[in-house]
């Protein structure tokens, strides 16, 4: 059982879970302050529904990939790699956008949520459903990101489930510590550190996604007997990624410890092609610039009024 795959999933789930826990905590604290604790069941209902919906998406994606794999071999190779690459790009876009957006809007998020919940509970007839919808959207947003990331990393079995649950437990514990026991946690430092960690994880996902798309193109060429791939060594073939620029397979194979940890966490490859290297550094440079730029003037999400 490969537990190295658990680390990036735990990190992603913990970070996204903390974001959702903060929204839930802000809503519940506001409801308690407004003497509307009777709406708490709607909060719990939104949490449960969001988690179940995220789980359902994960099950459907797993079922879809199994269906693809059961098609005829050449078609399965093309469509399987194409969908894996596409899913990786979706995960990269979602995680990168949410990282920058959350960082830029952290200062005003508390006030915005309180404003939304204040308007929601003003109408007695629809207050419950409005609270439910607000929580559901918050949980779904983070839950979908985790599910898409797990699917893009092609992780199945008990390991991703255990690591995702561990991340959720950690997020819940942080939420309870903040709102129930009033324990002070430097959320600014937490999100900044996790943000840098997330950038490295997503940059690794770029390497994987580009590799899958390259294999899809090669499979397409093989399926339709076309010649669209660049000439390359058959044993180290790459369709459109160019020359091999990194090869440490004999001394540091990425299917053995400790390189397998670097592969799971940051996308390390013992064999790396030029296209993958360019995409990796291009993403890390552009996304890193946007992220660090968004940190300017940021204050903790739960800063006092």
For the chain, the domain total comes to 1
216-246 tens-digit pLDDT: 887 877 777 776 666 555 456 577 787 788 8
Identify whether 301 is part of a domain.
Answer: no
Identify whether 188 is part of a domain.
Answer: yes
Is the pLDDT reported for residue 55 higher than 60? yes
How confident is the model at residue 29, as a pLDDT?
87
Q: Average pLDDT for residues 68-90, to the nearest whole number?
A: 76
148-168 tens-digit pLDDT: 888 777 655 677 778 888 989
Nearest-angstrom CA–CA distance, 273 and 266: 16
Of residues 236 and 283, more confidence is placed in 283
How confident is the model at residue 304, as a pLDDT?
42
- Mean pLDDT is lowest, of 7-16, 60-69, 152-161, 272-281, for 152-161
Domain that holds residue 206: 3-294
Is the pLDDT reported for residue 53 higher than 90? yes
Q: Average pLDDT for residues 39-51, to the nearest whole number?
A: 93
Of residues 288 and 62, more confidence is placed in 288
Is the pLDDT reported for residue 5 higher than 80? no
How confident is the model at residue 305, as a pLDDT?
38
How confident is the model at residue 228, as a pLDDT?
67
Identify whether 304 is part of a domain.
Answer: no
Identify whether 54 is part of a domain.
Answer: yes
Q: Average pLDDT for residues 42-65, to the nearest whole number?
A: 88
Identify whether 300 is part of a domain.
Answer: no
Nearest-angstrom CA–CA distance, 279 and 203: 9
Q: Name the β-bridge partners of 244.
A: 273
* pTM of the entire predicted model: 0.78
Among 20-24, 67-71, 151-155, 157-161, the range with the most confident prediction by mean pLDDT is: 20-24
How confident is the model at residue 123, as a pLDDT?
79
In the chain, what percentage of residues exceed pLDDT 70?
A: 86
Q: Average pLDDT for residues 88-107, to the nearest whole number?
A: 82
Q: Average pLDDT for residues 24-45, to the nearest whole number?
A: 90
Identify whether 283 is part of a domain.
Answer: yes
Identify whether 250 is part of a domain.
Answer: yes
Identify whether 299 is part of a domain.
Answer: no
- Mean pLDDT is lowest, of 3-7, 35-39, 191-195, for 3-7
């Amino acid at each position: 059982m490969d537990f190295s795959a658990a680390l990036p999933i735990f990190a992603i789930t913990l970070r996204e879970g903390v974001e959702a826990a903060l929204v839930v905590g802000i809503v519940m604290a506001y409801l308690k302050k407004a003497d509307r604790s009777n709406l708490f069941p709607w909060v719990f209902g939104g949490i449960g529904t969001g988690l179940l919906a995220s789980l359902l998406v994960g099950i459907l994606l797993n079922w879809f990939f199994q269906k693809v794999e059961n098609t005829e071999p050449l078609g399965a190779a093309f469509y399987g790699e194409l969908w894996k690459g596409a899913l990786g790009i979706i995960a990269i876009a979602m995680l990168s956008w949410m990282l920058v957006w959350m960082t830029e809007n952290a200062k005003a998020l508390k006030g915005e949520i309180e404003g939304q919940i204040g308007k929601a509970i003003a109408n007695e007839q629809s207050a419950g459903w409005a609270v439910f919808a607000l929580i559901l959207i918050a949980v779904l947003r983070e839950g979908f990101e985790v599910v898409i990331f797990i699917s893009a990393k092609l992780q199945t079995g008990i390991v991703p489930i255990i690591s995702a649950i561990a991340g959720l437990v950690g997020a819940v514990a942080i939420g309870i510590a903040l709102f129930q026991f009033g324990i002070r946690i430097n959320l600014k430092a937490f999100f900044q550190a996790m943000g840098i960690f997330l950038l490295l994880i997503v940059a690794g996902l770029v390497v994987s996604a580009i590799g899958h798309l390259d294999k899809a193109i090669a499979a397409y060429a093989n399926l339709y007997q076309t010649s669209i791939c660049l000439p390359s060594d058959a044993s180290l073939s790459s369709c459109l990624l160019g020359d091999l620029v990194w090869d440490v397979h004999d001394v540091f194979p990425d299917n053995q410890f400790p390189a397998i940890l670097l592969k799971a966490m940051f996308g390390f490859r013992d064999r790396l092609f030029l296209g993958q290297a360019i995409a990796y550094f291009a993403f890390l440079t552009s996304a890193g610039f946007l992220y660090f730029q968004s940190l300017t003037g940021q204050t903790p999400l739960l800063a006092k009024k």
